[in-house]
Amino acid sequence: MFVQILINGLVLAGGYALVAVGLTLTFGVMRMVNFAEGQSVMIGAFVAYTCVPYVGYVGAIAAAMAVNAVLGIILERTAFRPFRGVELNGLIASMGMSIVLVNVAELVWGTTPRPFDTLYNDTSVTIGTVGISVQRLICVVVSGAILTGLWWLVAYTSLGRKFRAVSEDHETASAMGIDVNQVSRLALVIGSMMAASAGALAGPVNMIAPDMGRTEMLNAFAAIILGGFGNVNGTILGALLIGLIQSIAAVYISNAYSTSIAFALLVVTLIFFPRGLVPERVDENV
Amino acid sequence: MRTFKTLLVIAGAAVILALPLSFGLFWINMVITALIFSLVVFSINLLTGLTGLLSFGQAGFVGIGAYTLGVLAKQGNPPLLAGLYGVLLAMACGFLLGLPAARLKGHYLAIGTLGFGILIYQLLTNSVDITRGPMGLLGIPTGGIDKQTWYLITLGVCLAVLAALAYVDRYSIVGVVLKMVRHDEIAARASGINVFAVKLIAFTVSAGLAGLSGALFAAYVRFLTPDLFNEQESFRYMMMAVVGGIGSPLGGVIASLMLTTIPEGLRILGEDNLRLLVYGTMVLFVLWFLPSGIGGLLERRRR
């Protein structure tokens, strides 16, 4: 039972973390919240679903990431660049894009939820006394690997340094010769690709449907707030907490309230830590 | 000459306002719903436009107002009293949400209020013995009023709120205080304004407005499901407010009329998805070309 809950929690947490880290990266670099991120997850899941019969599961994940990279560029052009400095409008624009994406997906794939079967759904391995499907293990391992990769990218590469410089101070970074537009675009592309991997990995565990982006995004938001906006490590921590608590709550309390539980936890946390568990540094000018 | 012009404007406005009375049922229905929605837009104008607080949980308050009226009226209470309870309960919830939320800022506030909205939505969905959950609350006993009367009622309420907001915004000390909190919290505090209390009041009143919209909606439509109050609806209200220009209630009415009637008019496209596709694109286009919304356009005309 314990192993089962732990693995389920980690599967959830992995998906949330991939989405949330993408969001947090975009937020850190552009100071804007991407309300269309959930739809990137959904598009990723559907592209992978469509490609699986032709190129296999690994190829499908790659295809989903490629499609979403393009989607990231489109999003940056339509919903982010025109609204730099006008946060609220950017927020609403990404909501507009989100409506557009959901409806395009519904036109292409229909509205009914469908199962996304891969080879690994039906095979399982036994750990202790319980059988765990290989798909779930893949979810945990691959999302862990991608997150580690991102952490390395942000901490040690020159692109990562640019990300951090721009999120620290937009104008100074620009004065030092960093192309802020290019860095923003890359942040969105990477965020979008991570969302695609989240969709392709977690899709087979649940059903996929054009409205799946909603819950994905809400849980990711909860993780981000817990961890502190713009903070990659804190966000991963937040995602772990939310995932584990939800999987425990699903067993011992009720499945129907799982999103509520995440958000109730969030509201309680915010009462005591108004800037999240790992606060971001904000200077208030007098 | 000037009085003549004023008279002309008033006459023109009266004609425009009376016009929907001659519409067919389909369109008058649309206009009434849009007017009811615009009350929520007003609540956002007050909260975000004047006081500078973001809320992505307005649909939760609408739901509280609507379901309170629905449930109480079905138990045999007079609808007006039930509606009053709805507004009061929404205000109480706004106050309670304000207690933690008034200390939050920016994105934390946005997501915190979003969480509140989801909480309310899930409560409405899951407490089946009170709200009947996803089965929907049917047959709320508020029938017997024809559409023309409904139009006049909703129009009256909207105009009253619009006037009150304009008064607060332009002429009252309250408006000055609210705007001061929005522009510079620290300066407001230094001038002896209790920022926390001001925010709390803004939350409470705005929740009351959203609750009023919900109560009117429940009484008019007489059928409720929780899906009418999920976070997507909160986003939609926010879109209406931004398309209308966040600080402009008049723009808000126009936006809510536009964003309600145009998608409905597009039903001729047949496919539901095409309709919503156009809706999303429309919002994007307004934001690209009218960054301060319809209100900004009106403002430019005036000058």
Report pLDDT for B208: 92
pLDDT above 70 (res B80): yes
B28 pLDDT exceeds 70? yes
The answer to whether the CB of B28 falls within 8 A of the CB of B151 is yes
Pairing of the two strands A130-133 and A124-127: antiparallel
How high is the pLDDT of residue B2? 67
Residue of A nearest to B273 (CA): A103
Res B147: pLDDT = 78
Asked whether residue A25 carries a pLDDT value surpassing 50, the answer given is yes
At A268 the pLDDT is: 78
Q: Give the residue from chain B lying closest to A27, CA to CA.
A: B107
Best B51, B111, B290 member to test A by mutation, with max A CBs in 10 Å, is: B111
Chain B residues whose CB is inside 8 A of the A266 CB are 111-112, 115
**B-chain residues near A92 (CB < 8 A):** 238-239, 242-243, 283, 287
pLDDT at A282 (0 to 100): 54
May I ask the CATH class of domain A2-118+141-272? mainly alpha
ipTM of the complex: 0.79
Task: Say yes or no to pLDDT of B92 above 90.
Answer: yes
Q: Name which residue leads in pLDDT, A95 or A251.
A: A95
Is the Cβ pair B108, A229 closer than 8 Å? yes
CA distance B155 to B14: 12
A131: distance to nearest CA of chain B, Å? 32
| Annotated domain spans of chain A | 2-118+141-272
- Cβ-in-10-Å burial (0-12, 13-18, 19+) of A182 comes to exposed
Segment holding B292, helix H or strand E? none
| Confidence band for B101, pLDDT divided at 50, 70 and 90 | confident
A-chain CB neighbours of B284 within 8 Å are 78-79, 93, 96-97, 100
Q: What percent of chain B has pLDDT over 90?
A: 11
pLDDT above 50 for B20: yes
Residue B88's pLDDT band (boundaries 50, 70, 90)? very high
Nearest-neighbour CA in chain B from A227: distance (Å):
11
Most confident of A127-131, A256-260, B52-56: B52-56
H or E stretch at B142: none
pLDDT of A220 reads 85
Q: Residue A178 — very low, low, confident or very high, per pLDDT cuts 50/70/90?
A: confident
The alpha-carbon gap from A51 to the nearest alpha carbon of chain B, in Å, equals 24
Predicted confidence band at B241 (pLDDT cuts at 50, 70, 90)?
confident
Whether residues A214 and B281 touch (CB distance < 8 A) is answered with no
What pLDDT does B212 receive?
92
Poorest-confidence range of A153-162, A199-208, B22-31? Answer: B22-31
- The helix (H) or strand (E) run that includes residue A208 is strand A207-208
Supply the pLDDT for residue A286.
46
Q: Which residues of chain A have a CB within 8 Å of the CB of B243?
A: 92
Residue B44 has pLDDT above 80, yes or no: yes
Confidence of residue B61 (pLDDT cuts 50, 70, 90): very high
Task: Chain B: give the shortest CA distance to residue A84, in Å.
Answer: 11
**CA B212 to CA B294: how far, in whole Å?**
25
Q: What is the pLDDT of residues A238-255, one digit of tens each?
A: 888 888 888 888 777 766
The answer to whether residues B49 and B107 touch, using CB atoms and an 8 Å cutoff, is no
Contact yes or no for B119 and A274 at CB 8 A: no
Please judge whether A83 and B287 are an interchain contact, meaning their C-beta atoms are less than 8 angstroms apart: yes
Encoding tokens for residue B126?
Answer: 């899951």
Residue with tokens 């980690």: A10
Contact B280 A82 (CB under 8 A): no
Report whether pLDDT(B9) > 70. Answer: yes
Q: Is A286 on the interface with B (CB under 8 A)?
A: yes
Beta bridge partners of A126: A131
Helix (H, G, I), strand (E, B) or coil at B303: coil
Alpha helices in chain B (DSSP H): 2-18, 25-44, 58-74, 79-101, 106-126, 128-131, 147-170, 173-183, 185-190, 195-221, 231-244, 249-265, 272-289, 293-302
pLDDT of residue B219: 86
- Return the percentage of chain A with pLDDT > 70, whole number: 92
Tens of pLDDT, residues A203-231: 888 788 888 888 778 888 888 888 777 67
Over the stretch B105-151, which tens digit does the pLDDT of each residue have? 777 788 888 888 888 888 888 887 777 877 777 877 777 777 778 88
The three-state secondary structure class of B54 is coil
SS3 letters across A79-139: HHHHHCCCHHHHHHHHHHHHHHHHHHHHHHHCCCCEECCCHHHCCEEEECCEEEEHHHHHH
CA distance A207 to chain B (A): 21
Place of tokens 């997906």: A105
| pLDDT score at B205 | 92
Q: Identify which of A69-73, A200-204, A269-273, B115-119 has the greatest average pLDDT.
A: A69-73
CB contact under 8 A, A99 and B115: no
How close A77 gets to chain B, by Cα (Å)? 11
- Shortest CA distance from B232: residue in chain A: A214
Q: Which residues contact B74 (CB under 8 A, 6 or more apart)?
A: B137, B139, B140, B141
Closest Cβ opposite residue A221 in set B114, B273, B276: B114
Task: For residue B110, list chain A residues with Cβ-Cβ distance below 8 A.
Answer: 33, 91
What's the rounded Cα separation, in Å, for the pair B246 and A203? 38
Q: Can you name the residues that pair with B218 across neighbouring β-strands? A: none
Dihedral (Cα; B19, B21, B23, B29), 10-degree rounding: 120
